[in-house]
Amino acid sequence: MFRWLKRQSPGRIIALGFALVILVGSVLLILPCSVQDGVEVRYIDTLYTSTSAVCVTGLIAIDAGDTFTPLGQFFLASLIQIGGLGVTAVGAGIIVAMGKRVNLKGRTLIREAMNLDSGKGLVRFVKHIFLVTVIFELTGALLSFLVFVQDYPPLRAAGISLFHSVAAFNNSGFDILGNFQNLIPYRDNVLLNLVTCGLIIFGGIGFLVIQEVWRKRFHWKKLSMHARVVISMSAVLIVVGAVLLKLTEDITWLAAFFHSVSARTAGFSTYSLGTFSSAGLLCLTVLMFIGASPGSTGGGIKTSTFFVLLQGIKSSATNTTEKAFKYTVPANAFRKAAVITLMALGVVLTGTYIMVAVEPDIRLIDALFEVTSAFGTVGLSTGITPGLSDISKLLSILIMYIGRLGPLTIATLWYFDKGERARYPEGNIAIG
């Protein structure tokens, strides 16, 4: 078994690791000790919940607060944490904590999983990931506790606060408040809204960017091109999303800002999205599709991918080189960004077609929203998730899995490098 694993590519090992954690989580969540008395749970729903947690999505077929015991909720939070940090990073962290060395294969896996260009300082980077996670999640839990303790007993409020902080920082929209209410009761609570948004933003910009900003002492001109792209694109998408939502929906500016942030792969909501207009849902769909940033706890095609696409289009239209922030965009970046985007569109459109075919009573916009939410590992829904058929749930499970690993990674799982046996002359083809 171990010899077989050593022969596999990093992408396959990462994919198998996520699949294994999902299956183990589905079993843990269906144990009698995890389910509240008098509640019946089917395996398909625990598999769906486990996949949603490990893929840090937040789509729910069953309500976590009304279904699971405190132990079950602990299992759920653990799955979210493992999924957010990444199976390989968690495994490496355990090895480092035990005082052992991470071998070359493990270093390669970490580099592949975290989208790192170099293998230097990987162990130090893993330690940084865990330190940042602990700092943000404990700070978020403490600030959230100030809000939840007003409505719950201290011990219960502490549990809710810690769960909420873990879910928010890992960009997973789970809650344990019960009755499928998410954060609707706290739509006007400024502190909880801002704390949640802060956790989502920092969890979504990526550990590399957080590390670089800290080391460069927040000096903008000293930041790398990647950090500047991620920060600027995140800010632009949040502002534009908030303005568009405010224009189309009868909500407050706080709610518009919150949902613009949350749509970037977090999945929390303070309003029922089933009441949103088609224009508002379309805006959220685009934000969900773009998602967070590389090396973060979020999904989507990523902000840097979207930025490179825009630069490539601008370059073609103006016949100039692709450049930004006094840097030239790497030559092959546009090609990779275009491939990822087209594959992502293929997954979303195919998934939407299948869901609409299987569920003829569901509106097209609702199906598109649901599938995009699954692919972007967001967790927002117009309310159709609990009523989906088993086929649609299995479809969502597959799409969440693809979204967490990335369509390009999935595509390479079946690739075997045998080399090109022949080269052909270059042909002509009309474009446009």
In sequence order, the β-bridge partners of residue 323 are 328
Q: What are the distances in angstroms from CA 323 to CA 113, 212, 237, 313?
A: 27, 21, 20, 12
Q: Please tell me the predicted confidence (pLDDT) of residue 286.
A: 94
Q: What are the distances in angstroms from CA 186 to CA 148, 195, 262, 295, 431?
A: 10, 12, 15, 30, 52
Given a contact cutoff of 8 angstroms between Cβ atoms, the answer to whether 268 and 245 are in contact is no
Is residue 119's pLDDT more than 60?
A: no
Is residue 419's pLDDT more than 60?
A: no
What is the per-residue pLDDT across 303-325, written as a single tens digit (0 to 9) for each?
989 998 888 888 888 877 777 78
Q: Please tell me the predicted confidence (pLDDT) of residue 179.
A: 86
Q: Please tell me the predicted confidence (pLDDT) of residue 215.
A: 83
**55-59, 215-219, 230-234, 301-305: range with lowest mean pLDDT:** 215-219
What average pLDDT does range 47-70 have in this prediction? Answer: 91
**Averaged pLDDT of the chain:** 85
Given a contact cutoff of 8 angstroms between Cβ atoms, the answer to whether 183 and 175 are in contact is yes
Is residue 284's pLDDT more than 90?
A: yes
Is residue 232's pLDDT more than 70?
A: yes
| Among 148, 152, 179, CA closest to 164 | 148
Element (H, E) at 324: strand 323-324
Range from 127-131, 211-215, 229-233 that averages highest in pLDDT: 229-233
What is the per-residue pLDDT across 331-348, written as a single tens digit (0 to 9) for each?
788 888 888 899 999 999
Given a contact cutoff of 8 angstroms between Cβ atoms, the answer to whether 267 and 173 are in contact is yes
Please state whether beta strands 327-328 and 323-324 pair in parallel, antiparallel, or not at all (unpaired): antiparallel
What average pLDDT does range 176-204 have in this prediction? Answer: 91
Task: Strands of 131-215 (E only): list them.
Answer: none
Instruction: Give the tokens for residue 303.
Output: 């902000």
**77-81, 110-114, 121-125, 132-136: range with lowest mean pLDDT:** 110-114
